[in-house]
């Protein structure tokens, strides 16, 4: 696809972004990994060799295939005989869902709040931004724990908690870029042409603020996965037997000396996913921000 | 017996003095698992707090180190009347109290101290009764307020206790932590100074080690008490280094930063056994881990449902996977090492098909939904309640029962389970005095089925309770054995619990530690321990 577009002279804006994105090798690697994880998540039912919650009680703590295990459990089994590979595959689906829902929620809510603050100024601005400052003043994980403690533990509540915690970043970003756009002439001319506030907000200004928001959304994706895993690790996120990565990690911590694979693989999955999103987010920022372009 | 005891002690003291003279003082570091709530066992209920206060005090009678045998403590001897209701204790003379910066004792231990210690817990008008919360859970759970008729001082070294009814385990009960003997003189001094609560924070007792200092979540320091009535202990100092994580405890033990650690991860044991510097001691624990069905809630009021779930859960798989061979599947509510264990009882056989049929008969052909509580912490009787809950959840799903795993902070968990908020809850018990009464009456008797009581199945079954009460009233062990064996039959038939396992207790110690003995009651006792 990229090749076809690049063949067309002169390059369109999308192709331009793609061209500078592909210059960053790390970002491309991140994108490849994310696409792979997304495919695995979508095809989890086909790819997973076993059910993620089936306990094979005659195969407890079987090591991975290269460490003396068997091909029926390529990455080994955990302490109650569940296939680790299958749990990781289904966990990928959960992590992707968590990331998408959290980012969608906080992106939409944050953008609306940020634009409102920028447009209406005065009391609205102060009220929204001071609330965000208060939320930012608290460590994000601590705030998430408080919210989960109020709502009760569970995967859905954990997602709501993480969305609320990441909200201030989107709000501040949306407000800042909307404020700078508002002074531009095209906005003034649109206003003179008789555009209402809503039209100005969402049709005129918003498309021009999207670049930093997209970057923040990509980076927020990895934060969301990490925070949800942390909540799962603390027993506040996904409840057993849901194969969520953080929960898997917490449940098997006592085996770190005896059966490294039970602990290492979920940790490795979290690491790779979060790293991939961060790399891609970095590349995207470089590509979208004209100031950083060579 | 006194003379016999003195010779090894004197020899031990000489060796200790020789070592102390030649090298630095012998201080043992014990990596304990948590911070104590306070230093008075009368108001505590957790093993962690009992451990922290244990060495400071003595009791009228003591358990011999590493066994369930009762030996004389502050009482040199005692006599029991014909009807089993009157106990006369002859107290030991010349027993010194420890001193601290704020308190210097002026007299030896005598009958006033015994009366002070019992009356503080018993009499609501005692000046110390309300101090530090005024809740004496163990005293109440052992039925003491109902049992005691009078406690009298006959002369300074004789105390007479009269009971309302004969109580066979009474002497063993007095060796338990709640029966700790405080100092009445210290109490008076603190009361005059207006700081009575210090009694429970800066303890003074007659025990082998003197309390020095305590920093929450960090460490507790003790020093050997040279004037101890049984001679100075071989160690000079004792430090509890508070380390909550079992993996960190293991790392500290490996590095030689502590000498003894409790509650290792079962998964770490094979590695520990390979380590030349570490000896792993083990003993079949005096404990039981169980899943209690709340019989006051539907659908567990139906015996058939309880029996069906007993057949639906694969016990062997749990013992293999979670206890990792460090436990035996439990059949009865008492461990097999305890007398009166009924060996003729057969456990329910794991049979999901039959369980399903029984559920259908009880009116649940498609199963039902329930909660399943799991402790958030590792206990001596249950190394990983969360994992066990997950295994039970999977087994129960196969007979159509959907279980939701629930957990709370540990203190909250016990409180809510004792209040009976659950449908199914895991819990367990480590024996306190080596008497079957201490398992069955406390955990399954009608008196403990009240809201807040320790019978979390809330199961009050008249024929069963009658047998337990009868066994309490007779001192004849053969007769009591018969009654308890009969009670275990009823227990299995009525199935208020799914009995999980009796765990083997492991204590990894460093090789320089000599003569550490595992307490069957889960205490950690260091008064006869030496360091090479």
pLDDT digits (tens, 9 = 90+) for B302-341: 999 999 999 999 999 999 888 887 888 999 999 988 889 9
| Angstrom distance (rounded) from CA B200 to CA B196 | 8
SS (H, E, C) B147-197: HEEEEEEEECCEEEEEECCCCCCHHHHCCCHHHECCCHHHHHHHHHHCCHH
The fraction of chain B above a pLDDT of 70, given in percent, is 95
- For residue B218, what is the DSSP state? T
Compare all CA atoms of chain B with the CA of A243 and give the residue at the minimum distance.
B390
Residues of A in contact with B389 (CB under 8 A): 240
CA distance B271 to chain A (A): 8
How many domains does the structure of chain A reveal? 1
State the pLDDT at residue B5.
Answer: 47
Give the number of C-alpha atoms closer than 13 A to the C-alpha of residue B40, restricted to the C-beta side.
Answer: 28
Phi/psi at B74 (5° precision): -70, -20
State the pLDDT at residue A292.
Answer: 54
pLDDT, one tens digit per residue, over A174-230 is 999 999 888 889 888 988 998 888 888 888 888 888 888 888 888 888 888 888 888
Residues of A in contact with B265 (CB under 8 A): 254, 257
State the pLDDT at residue B411.
Answer: 76
State the pLDDT at residue B14.
Answer: 44
State the pLDDT at residue A232.
Answer: 82
Gyration radius from chain A CA atoms: 22
CA distance A233 to chain B (A): 13
Q: Is B434 left (phi over 0), alpha (psi -120 to 50) or beta?
A: left
Q: Does B376 contact chain A (CB < 8 Å)?
A: yes
State the pLDDT at residue A5.
Answer: 53
| Angstrom distance (rounded) from CA B380 to CA B522 | 8
| Angstrom distance (rounded) from CA B58 to CA B213 | 19
User: In a 3-state reduction of DSSP, which class is residue B531?
Assistant: strand
State the pLDDT at residue B160.
Answer: 95
Across the range B34-45, mean pLDDT stands at: 88
State the pLDDT at residue B331.
Answer: 93
Q: Kindly state whether residue A60 falls inside one of the protein's structural domains.
A: no
CATH of the domain at A183: 1.10.3720.10
What is the CB neighbour count within 10 angstroms for residue B463?
10
Q: Does B153 contact chain A (CB < 8 Å)?
A: no
Range of the domain at A36: 15-49+67-292
Which pTM does this prediction carry?
Answer: 0.74
CA distance B394 to chain A (A): 8
| Angstrom distance (rounded) from CA B60 to CA B40 | 16
In this prediction, the answer to ipTM > 0.85 reads no
Q: Shortest CB distance from A57 goes to which of B270, B321, B389?
A: B321
SS (H, E, C) B306-365: HHHHHHHCCHHHHHHHCCCCCEEECCCCCCCCCCCCCCCCCCCCCCHHHHHHHHHHCCCC
Using a CB–CB cut-off of 8 Å, the residues of A that contact B are 53-55, 57, 60, 79-81, 235, 239-241, 251, 253-259
Residues of B in contact with A57 (CB under 8 A): 314, 317, 320-321
Q: Shortest CB distance from B267 goes to which of A57, A239, A254?
A: A254
Instruction: Check A240 against B405: CB less than 8 A apart.
Output: yes
Q: Kindly state whether residue A129 falls inside one of the protein's structural domains.
A: yes
| Angstrom distance (rounded) from CA A228 to CA A266 | 13
Average pLDDT score, chain B: 89
| Angstrom distance (rounded) from CA B365 to CA B363 | 6
Band (pLDDT 50/70/90 cuts) for residue A6 is: low
Band (pLDDT 50/70/90 cuts) for residue A293 is: low
| Angstrom distance (rounded) from CA A75 to CA B212 | 52
Q: Kindly state whether residue A167 falls inside one of the protein's structural domains.
A: yes
Q: Does B386 contact chain A (CB < 8 Å)?
A: yes
CA distance B297 to chain A (A): 23
Residues of A in contact with B407 (CB under 8 A): 235
Q: Which residue's structure tokens are 């907000």?
A: A201
Q: Kindly state whether residue A142 falls inside one of the protein's structural domains.
A: yes
Q: Kindly state whether residue A54 falls inside one of the protein's structural domains.
A: no
H or E stretch including B505?
strand B497-510
Distances from the Cα of B4 to the Cαs of B1, B59, B236, in angstroms? 5, 21, 23
Please name which of B457, B350, B425 lies closest in space to residue B395, comparing C-alpha atoms.
B350
Interface size between A and B, measured as CB pairs under 8 A: 58
Question: Angle CA(B431)–CA(B491)–CA(B345) in degrees, nearest 5?
Answer: 90
More confident residue, B499 or B266: B499
What distance, in Å, lies between the first and last C-alpha atoms of chain A?
24
| Angstrom distance (rounded) from CA A68 to CA A2 | 44
The fraction of chain B above a pLDDT of 90, given in percent, is 65
Q: Does B419 contact chain A (CB < 8 Å)?
A: no
The fraction of chain A above a pLDDT of 70, given in percent, is 95
pLDDT, one tens digit per residue, over B52-102 is 999 999 999 999 998 888 899 999 999 998 888 999 999 999 999 999 988
CA distance A96 to chain B (A): 24
Instruction: Check A257 against B320: CB less than 8 A apart.
Output: no
CA distance A70 to chain B (A): 19
Instruction: Check A255 against B386: CB less than 8 A apart.
Output: no
Q: Shortest CB distance from B267 goes to which of A240, A241, A257?
A: A257
State the pLDDT at residue B22.
Answer: 39
Q: Kindly state whether residue A4 falls inside one of the protein's structural domains.
A: no
Residues of A in contact with B405 (CB under 8 A): 239-240
Q: Kindly state whether residue A287 falls inside one of the protein's structural domains.
A: yes
Q: Shortest CB distance from A241 goes to which of B320, B376, B394?
A: B394
Q: Kindly state whether residue A7 falls inside one of the protein's structural domains.
A: no
State the pLDDT at residue A294.
Answer: 47
Q: Shortest CB distance from B321 goes to which of A79, A239, A257?
A: A79
Instruction: Check B321 against A257: CB less than 8 A apart.
Output: no
State the pLDDT at residue A4.
Answer: 55
Compare all CA atoms of chain B with the CA of A53 and give the residue at the minimum distance.
B394
Instruction: Check B267 against A255: CB less than 8 A apart.
Output: yes
Across the range B104-114, mean pLDDT stands at: 93
| Angstrom distance (rounded) from CA B303 to CA B301 | 6
Contacts of A132 (CB under 8 A, 6+ apart): A113, A167, A168, A171, A172
What is the CB neighbour count within 10 angstroms for residue B194?
7
Compare all CA atoms of chain A with the CA of B406 and give the residue at the minimum distance.
A239
Q: Shortest CB distance from B391 goes to which of A55, A255, A258?
A: A55
CA distance B266 to chain A (A): 9
């Amino acid at each position: 696809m990229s090749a076809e577009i690049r063949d067309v002279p002169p390059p369109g804006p999308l192709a331009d972004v793609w061209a500078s994105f592909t210059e960053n090798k790390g970002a491309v690697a991140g994108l490849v990994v994310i696409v792979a994880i997304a495919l695995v998540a979508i095809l989890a039912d086909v790819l997973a060799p076993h059910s993620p919650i089936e306990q094979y009680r005659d195969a407890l703590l079987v090591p991975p295939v290269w460490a003396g295990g068997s091909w029926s459990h390529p990455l080994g089994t955990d302490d109650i005989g569940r296939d680790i590979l299958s749990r990781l595959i289904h966990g990928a689906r959960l992590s992707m869902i968590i990331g998408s829902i959290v980012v969608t929620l906080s992106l939409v809510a944050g953008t609306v709040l940020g634009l409102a603050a920028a447009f209406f100024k005065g009391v609205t601005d102060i009220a929204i931004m001071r609330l965000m400052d208060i939320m930012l003043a608290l460590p994000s994980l601590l705030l998430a724990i408080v919210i989960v403690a109020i709502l009760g533990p569970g995967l859905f509540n954990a997602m709501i908690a993480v969305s609320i915690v990441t909200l201030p970043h989107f709000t501040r970003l949306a407000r800042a870029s909307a404020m700078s756009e508002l002074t531009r002439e095209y906005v003034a001319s649109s206003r003179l042409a008789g555009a209402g506030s809503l039209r100005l907000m969402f049709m005129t200004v918003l498309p021009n603020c999207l670049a930093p928001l997209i970057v923040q959304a990509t980076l927020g994706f990895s934060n969301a996965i990490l925070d949800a895993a942390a909540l799962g690790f603390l027993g506040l996120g996904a409840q057993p037997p849901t194969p969520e990565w953080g929960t898997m990690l917490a449940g098997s911590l006592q085996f770190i000396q005896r059966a490294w694979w039970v602990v290492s693989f979920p940790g490795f999955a979290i690491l790779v996913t979060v790293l991939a999103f961060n790399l891609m987010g970095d590349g995207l920022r470089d590509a979208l921000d004209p100031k950083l372009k060579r | 017996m006194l003379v016999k005891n003195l010779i090894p002690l004197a020899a031990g003291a000489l060796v200790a003095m020789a070592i102390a003279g030649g090298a630095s003082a012998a201080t043992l570091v014990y990596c304990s698992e948590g911070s104590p709530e306070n230093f008075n066992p009368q108001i505590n209920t957790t093993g962690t707090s009992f451990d922290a206060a244990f060495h400071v005090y003595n009791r009228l009678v003591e358990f011999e180190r590493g066994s369930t045998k009762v030996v004389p403590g502050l009482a040199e001897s005692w006599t029991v009347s014909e009807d089993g209701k009157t106990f006369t204790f002859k107290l030991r003379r010349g027993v010194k109290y420890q001193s601290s910066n704020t308190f210097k004792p002026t007299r030896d231990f005598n009958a006033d101290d015994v009366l002070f210690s019992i009356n503080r817990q018993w009499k609501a008008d005692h000046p110390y009764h309300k101090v530090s919360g005024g809740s004496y859970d163990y005293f109440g759970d052992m039925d003491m307020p109902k049992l005691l008729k009078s406690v009298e001082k006959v002369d300074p070294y004789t105390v007479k206790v009269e009971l309302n009814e004969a109580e066979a385990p009474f002497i063993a009960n007095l060796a338990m932590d709640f029966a700790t003997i405080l100092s009445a003189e210290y109490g008076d001094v603190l009361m005059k100074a207006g700081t009575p609560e210090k009694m429970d924070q800066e303890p003074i007792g007659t025990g082998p080690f003197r309390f020095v200092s305590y920093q929450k979540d960090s460490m507790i320091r003790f020093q050997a008490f040279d004037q101890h009535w049984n001679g100075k202990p071989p160690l000079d100092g004792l430090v509890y280094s508070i380390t909550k994580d079992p993996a960190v405890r293991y790392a500290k033990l490996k590095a030689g930063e502590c000498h003894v650690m409790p509650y290792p991860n079962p998964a770490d044991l094979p590695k520990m056994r390979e380590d030349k510097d570490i000896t792993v001691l083990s003993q079949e624990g005096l404990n039981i881990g169980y899943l209690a069905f709340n019989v006051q809630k539907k659908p567990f009021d139906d015996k058939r449902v309880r029996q069906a779930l007993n057949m639906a859960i694969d016990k062997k798989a749990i013992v293999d996977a979670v206890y990792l061979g460090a436990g035996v599947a439990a059949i009865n509510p008492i461990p097999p090492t305890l007398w009166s264990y009924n060996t003729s009882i057969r456990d329910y056989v794991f049979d999901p098909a039959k369980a399903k049929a029984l559920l259908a008969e009880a009116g649940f052909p498609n199963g039902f939904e329930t909660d399943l509580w799991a402790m958030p912490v590792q206990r001596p009787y249950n190394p990983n309640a969360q994992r066990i809950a997950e295994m039970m959840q999977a087994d129960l799903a196969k007979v159509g029962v959907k279980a939701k795993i629930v957990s709370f902070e540990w203190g909250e968990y016990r409180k809510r389970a004792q209040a009976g908020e659950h449908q199914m809850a895991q819990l367990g018990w480590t024996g306190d005095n080596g008497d079957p009464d201490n398992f069955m009456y406390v955990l399954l008797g009608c008196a403990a089925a009240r809201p807040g009581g320790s019978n979390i199945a809330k199961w009050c079954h008249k024929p069963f309770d009658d047998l337990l009460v009868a066994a309490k009233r007779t001192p004849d062990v053969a007769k009591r054995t018969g009654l308890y064996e009969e009670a275990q039959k009823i227990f299995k038939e009525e199935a208020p619990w799914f009995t999980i396992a009796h765990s083997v207790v492991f204590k990894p110690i460093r090789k320089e530690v000599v003569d550490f003995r595992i307490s069957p009651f889960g205490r950690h006792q260091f008064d006869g321990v030496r360091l090479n």
